[in-house]
Chain A
């Protein structure tokens, strides 16, 4: 085993490599949810969107032979689920959180139902960038096999970070999410803005799903997402609705998720299930640490129904 040769450095390396791999879906989902929440809506259905994205991405890649067409199909399915969430939430007296929970179950069920034929066959995977070419150590080379989607996600985070204060669209999204009445008085369409922000959030989550099925772990199976769509919503709160913070938080969670497999490489197997729970324990710990019964969350968009 190469891991044993590198000893504990191998664990750190595996955690770092895992952080990059596992963080990608977290990053996409949390960026999408950040955008949606900035517009004043919460979409809790992103877990379902993630699975639909994974299934349709895998299916499209298998049927067309092009993994990038799969990503496109995943984005489209995410947009559709986002539009559905927005359309229902636009109705008067509808609670967006309840709609999200319904779509979570709906999207999951639909993905399992439509995805049955794709459990067996092997679809073409997304290519990776071999950034470890300089090294002869296989562990380093393996850790630095990075999906281009990771870099696209980071670029998107910085684009969003720039766009929110510097573009017409960014200002409107923030206004709608912080004080809908003010946006309405200024003549901006509240529901249309939220619809687009939710649809785009769905696109991001769909792409995250395509990463799961076409890059890492790279197969289509039920239970593939293991709650990452839901945890990403918690990440958004911890990242304080800041796209660049989403990058750091996603890396942190990716690292936590990679802890268990990394320990296995040095032969520590005893606590596999315990270390496997690390990201969930981290979610809980962070949410408890960053919340308080005494004060509200700083930076939360004023129109979010969880704040009211």
Chain B
């Protein structure tokens, strides 16, 4: 296998319309061979649509794609693969029960009827030896950490002979260390001239740290670009957001830290497979304080939040809220002002088939002023309250009667936020509240969490986004394999130290 140099890829005046939305409007980009090219833009700016046109997922309405100067109509992903284009998607496309080797072999376009595993393993071992990062070929994909899965996705594309590697927001599931490792290796491959890397991202830091060229998209159009070294941060921000005002960053304030609100002592919980997920966990959160829990996904955070939410039975340990044992019943949540922003809000905090108004009333429809005599519910009052919440939280929807699952991810999160933050919040448990949201929505939601703290609520913020924790938390704990392994206060928090504790010991 002699590596051919990557091709020159030019997209010229691509347009694509989905129904009423003009996703791409005459966008042109040029990916030089061996470059590390960032596609920067907010959610909905057209980055994904652009690369999906290149990969043959969508047919562009107009415009051409030239590869090494020749016009190609890329009809489907197979045609793109044949031209040497490979894409790593945001969601993992691995088969969990299969090993690394099986996942690699499965990706082969010419999978033989009977697999000669000895020959395949030889080929895979030789291939892995050439790669800048290694994985155990016998490890099942389900046992890999998120960063390792991402590496396997990249390996899969390279194993298929991709010479242009498109990475779609690869770091949304990685720790800073993992992101550095994965993107650093990709940069090395590009520098060696063996690969063109296209990085789709909305994170300025990644563009600065890894990309040599950048193209910015805004509202489906070219909004600028060029050599990263020649552009300052302000220019990038202006290109990305235009001139419209951003929500102001939240201010820390309030009366300072009060008495303890949430206390966990010796908490143990199992995961879905029956293995220990939360181990002897002890922590406390005081009023007016945000306690951040950092950690690589899969170290017991989900089980911790589910236990606090009443979705999972603890094996042992004590949970107290406001000094009293806390049984996690609906009545207790209501009496003590416990609210929850869970991960994947549409799945975990909403009833998909119900309207926005009904979802907003899930916590209190059976209490005054909505409950009426004889078990009836005052739907008019629920609707009125929904209107005011939609207004106050800027939930974009067709009205209070729109089904909640017709809303975009950011607006579902706003709706849940409206429900959980409009009561008298004493304790707020939040997990990855801004996952997958764009810059503006993220800033707004973080502002509201900080506001709750400033008003005196205790906040337990479980997040895989270290930047988020450094911005919001008064104290940061690091969770590793179900235990708290590190603690630092806001003043002393250093990303490197936290990141080191997040990954230490997780390498097997």
Chain A residues engaging chain B, CB cutoff 8 angstroms: 165-169, 171-172, 174-175, 178-179, 181-183, 185-187, 292, 294-296, 298-299, 301-302
Contacts and interface: CB of A to CB of B under 8 A. Distances in A.
A186 B95 CA distance: 11
Interface of B: 77-78, 89, 91-98, 102, 105-107, 109, 111-115, 117, 270-275, 313
Q: When A and B form their complex, which 10 residue pairs have the shortest distance between CB atoms, in order from nearest?
A: A295-B274, A182-B93, A185-B93, A175-B95, A168-B111, A178-B95, A296-B272, A295-B273, A179-B95, A178-B97
Given A171-B105, A181-B93, A294-B272, 7 more contacts: A165-B102, A174-B95, A179-B94, A179-B95, A182-B92, A186-B106, A296-B273
A171 B271 contact: no
Given A166-B117, A167-B114, A178 B98 contact: yes
B97 A167 contact: no
B186 to A, nearest CB: 20
A186 B93 contact: yes
A174 B98 contact: yes
A187 B112 CA distance: 15
Nearest to A182: B93
B94 A294 contact: no
B274 A294 contact: yes
A166 B77 contact: no
A179 B89 CA distance: 14
A302 B142 CA distance: 11
A3 B111 CA distance: 57
Given A175-B106, A295-B270, A296-B273, A301 B115 contact: no
Contacts of A169: 113
A178 B96 contact: yes
Contacts of B93: 179, 181-182, 185-186
A301 B97 contact: yes
Nearest to B313: A294
B98 A175 contact: yes
A168 B97 contact: no
23 contacts: A166-B114, A166-B115, A167-B114, A168-B113, A171-B102, A171-B105, A171-B111, A171-B115, A172-B106, A174-B97, A174-B98, A175-B106, A178-B95, A178-B98, A182-B92, A182-B94, A182-B95, A294-B270, A294-B274, A294-B313, A295-B270, A295-B272, A298-B273
Contacts of A299: 97
Given A168-B114, A171-B115, A302 B97 contact: yes
Nearest to A183: B95
A47 to B, nearest CB: 28
Contacts of B109: 187
Given A178-B96, A302-B97, A185 B115 contact: no
Central interface residue in B107, B117, B313, by most chain A CB within 10 Å: B107
Contacts of A292: 274
B228 to A, nearest CB: 31
B111 A185 contact: no
Nearest to A295: B274
A172 B103 CA distance: 11
Nearest to B269: A294
Contacts of B97: 174, 178, 299, 301-302
Contacts of B111: 168, 171-172
A187 to B, nearest CB: 6
Given A187-B109, A292-B274, A168 B115 contact: yes
Contact of B107 (A168, A186, A296): A186
A243 to B, nearest CB: 15
Contact of A167 (B77, B78, B113, B272): B113
A187 B78 contact: yes
Nearest to B312: A294
A163 B111 CA distance: 14
A301 B96 CA distance: 9
B97 to A, nearest CB: 5
A182 B91 CA distance: 10
A302 B94 CA distance: 12
Nearest to B92: A182
Contacts of B91: 181
A165 B140 CA distance: 13
Nearest to A181: B93
Contacts of B313: 294
